[in-house]
Amino acid sequence: MNPFRLNPFGASPKLRDLVTDVSWNYEINKNIRPLTPKPRETDGTYRMMQEDIERIQEFHKCIECFLCQNVCHVMRDQNVQEFAGPRFLIRIASLAMHPLDTLNRLKELKDVFGLGYCNITKCCTEVCPEDIKITDNGIIPLKERVAGAFYDPLAWILKSLTSK
Ligand code: SF4
Ligand code: SF4
């Protein structure tokens, strides 16, 4: 058997031995607005497309092990406090892509949760024990939405014309 090495999480303050303080993660979590569903149909049910449900199902497999937070270089090396980290970007993706959610979460993704700090190295995806495609299926689609809303000049012109 090959020797292996156990280290405490590098992205969280060490308390003792292998124990680290991960409470910051739960503080970030409090800033995420909960699912705000649209009204039910007249028969009292919700209607959703199966493919929409399947898209977010993957994100709900997260067991909050925080391995992705630990390997993310933005969190480990740059210690950027305004970056939520991959675990919480995945949580926001599960809400933003939810077929019933009515909230626009793009501005807070950009300004509060620091989506732009992620440079898609995919280290988080490589360590996820639940095999969640954090970057390809979560972060990149969110980045595309934010880019479309805030950095696409054509969309910006159309928005300013229609908002008058
Ligand atoms: S892809 Fe983004 S969130 Fe994941 S480890 Fe790299 S910088 Fe961090
Ligand atoms: S590594 Fe995967 S399971 Fe663990 S917290 Fe991150 S997304 Fe969740």
User: Ligand 2: which of 63, 122, 123, 127 to mutate, judged by most atoms within 8 Å of the beta carbon?
Assistant: 63
Q: What is the pLDDT at residue 164? A: 53
| Residues framing ligand 2 (Cβ under 6 A) | 62-68, 86-87, 90, 127-130, 132, 134
Ligand closest to Cα of 77 equals 1
How many structural domains is the chain composed of? Answer: 1
pLDDT tens profile 125-154: 999 999 999 999 999 999 999 999 988 777
Non-local CB neighbours of 47 within 8 Å, separated by 6+ positions: 41
Radius of gyration of the chain (CA): 18
What six digits make up the tokens of 139?
């972060």
Look at residue 98 and tell me if it is in a domain.
yes
* Cα 12 to ligand 1 centre (Å): 16
Residue 101: strand pairing partners: 37
Candidate from 28, 62, 74, 140 with most ligand 1 atoms within 8 A of CB, to mutate: 74
CATH code of the domain in which 149 resides: 1.10.1060.10
Rounded to two decimals, the pTM is 0.90
Number of residues in the chain:
164
The residues of the chain scoring below 70 in pLDDT are 79, 155-156, 158-160, 162-164
Tell me the residue range of the domain where 112 lies. Answer: 49-162
Ligand of minimum distance to the alpha carbon of 29: 2
Q: What percent of the chain has pLDDT over 70?
A: 94
User: Does 22 map to a domain?
Assistant: no
Q: Is residue 151 part of a domain?
A: yes
DSSP state string for 82-123:
T---HHHHHHHHHHHT-TTB----HHHHHHTS-GGG-----H
> Does residue 84 form part of some domain?
yes
Q: Is residue 8 part of a domain?
A: no
In-domain check, residue 29: no
Q: Report whether residue 109 contacts ligand 1, using a CB cutoff of 6 Å.
A: no
Sequence-ordered list of residues with C-beta below 8 angstroms from that of 10, at least 6 positions apart, any chain: 70, 76
The pLDDT assigned to 80 comes to 76
123 lines ligand 1 (CB under 6 A): yes
In a domain, 156, yes or no: yes
In a domain, 83, yes or no: yes
H or E element in which residue 14 lies: strand 14-16
